[in-house]
């Protein structure tokens, strides 16, 4: 099952995260570097957030029930929001520690070993993050993508720390350590804020413009003559599940079986593209005389107006709650 695959991927990420956290704290105790401490503190967030993400994916894998008719996928948005909030907390802790050590400097030791350990941990984190983002996009999992982006940002942070520690190693100027920590503390806070913003957007069912445009492109490419127009299109995401609603204008004289066949054909096109976790709820509307100018059906025997053009479905016209044509209609 798709959800179980995501659970296994996230479990692997958590186990690797625990190992990398141990490496980073080892580097901090060797060096007493504030910059390295920022990385180590964020590793705690990585593990906590990863565990919550693991729980959310496990919960999302549960089948629908009477209390959750659309499944449990919404918990993924909560997971991403919690992870973003924890990232921001880590960033603020880093701010405080760095400012404190500007006032009360702390001696740094064994920079070379610390540099090597952070470089290794950062490279592994970035590679793992890239893998999670790739799998998250493949399986439409916001949780995997959020965790992956977090780990990739951690990898970039580690690169910055390596550069900062290298400068300290060459120059012996210790205050650079605090300056680097402040910079990456800011980056971490911004990264967390973006995750929280995306989580709120998902919970509030904000329209995913990229996803809607992708669906519109598929429908335009596979258009059938009887599909006069599509309107009142809506997409709601429940984790990796997609719930799509739309009204389809069809020739009014089609019988019930023909209407069913047309809607089923559209359903198959969409689910074949987006995967088995897609629900496509279609409402058929009968055509009206003002539909004739945009109707591309060549063998219509009841046409009242000549066909003037093939209307391309776009983000602007497919989401409106009205039939397409010369005049508004419902």
Q: What is the mean pLDDT of each run of 10 residues along the chain (330 residues)?
A: 72 88 87 76 77 77 70 71 79 76 72 82 88 81 74 76 78 76 78 80 71 91 93 80 88 94 93 79 92 90 88 89 64
The residues, ordered by sequence, that sit 6+ positions from 60 with a Cβ below 8 Å of its Cβ are 3, 6, 71, 72, 73, 75, 76, 143, 239, 240
43: which 2 tokens? 């590793």
The total number of residues shown for the chain amounts to 330
pTM over 0.75: no
Domain annotation for the chain: domains and CATH numbers: 2-203 (1.20.1510.10), 209-318 (3.30.70.1350)
Q: Are strands 241-250 and 229-238 parallel, antiparallel or unpaired?
A: antiparallel
**CB-side neighbour CA atoms (13 Å) of 322:** 10
Residue 35 near residue 181 (C-beta atoms within 8 A): yes
Predicted local distance difference test score (pLDDT) of residue 36 = 78
């Amino acid at each position: 099952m798709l959800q179980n695959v995501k659970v296994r991927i996230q479990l692997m990420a958590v186990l690797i995260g625990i190992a990398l956290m141990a490496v980073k704290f080892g580097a901090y105790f060797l060096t007493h570097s504030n910059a390295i401490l920022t990385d180590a503190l964020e590793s705690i967030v990585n593990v906590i957030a990863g565990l919550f993400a693991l729980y959310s994916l496990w919960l999302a894998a549960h089948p629908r029930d009477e209390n959750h008719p659309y499944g449990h996928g919404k918990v993924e948005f909560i997971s991403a929001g919690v992870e973003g909030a924890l990232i921001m907390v880590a960033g603020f802790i880093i701010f405080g520690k760095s400012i404190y050590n500007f006032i009360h400097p702390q001696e740094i030791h064994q920079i070379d070993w610390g540099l090597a350990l952070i470089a290794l941990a950062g490279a592994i984190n970035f590679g793992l993050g890239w893998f999670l983002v790739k799998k998250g996009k493949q399986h439409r999992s916001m949780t995997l993508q959020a965790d992956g982006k977090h780990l990739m940002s951690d990898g970039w942070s580690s690169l910055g720390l390596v550069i900062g520690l290298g400068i300290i190693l060459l120059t012996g100027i210790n205050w650079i350590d605090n300056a680097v920590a402040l910079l990456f503390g800011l980056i971490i806070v911004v990264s967390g804020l973006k995750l929280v913003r995306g989580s709120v957007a998902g919970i509030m069912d904000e329209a995913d413009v990229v996803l809607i445009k992708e669906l519109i492109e598929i429908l335009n490419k596979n258009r059938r003559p009887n599909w006069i127009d599509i309107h009142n299109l809506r997409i709601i995401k429940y984790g990796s599940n997609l719930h799509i609603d739309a009204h389809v204008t069809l020739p009014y004289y089609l019988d019930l079986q023909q209407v069913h066949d047309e809607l089923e054909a559209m359903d198959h096109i969409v689910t074949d593209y987006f995967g088995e976790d897609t629900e496509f709820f279609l409402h058929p509307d009968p055509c009206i005389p003002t539909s004739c100018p945009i109707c591309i059906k060549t063998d219509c025997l009841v046409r009242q107006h000549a066909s003037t053009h093939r209307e391309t479905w776009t983000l602007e016209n497919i989401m409106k709650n009205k039939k397409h044509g010369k005049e508004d209609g419902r």
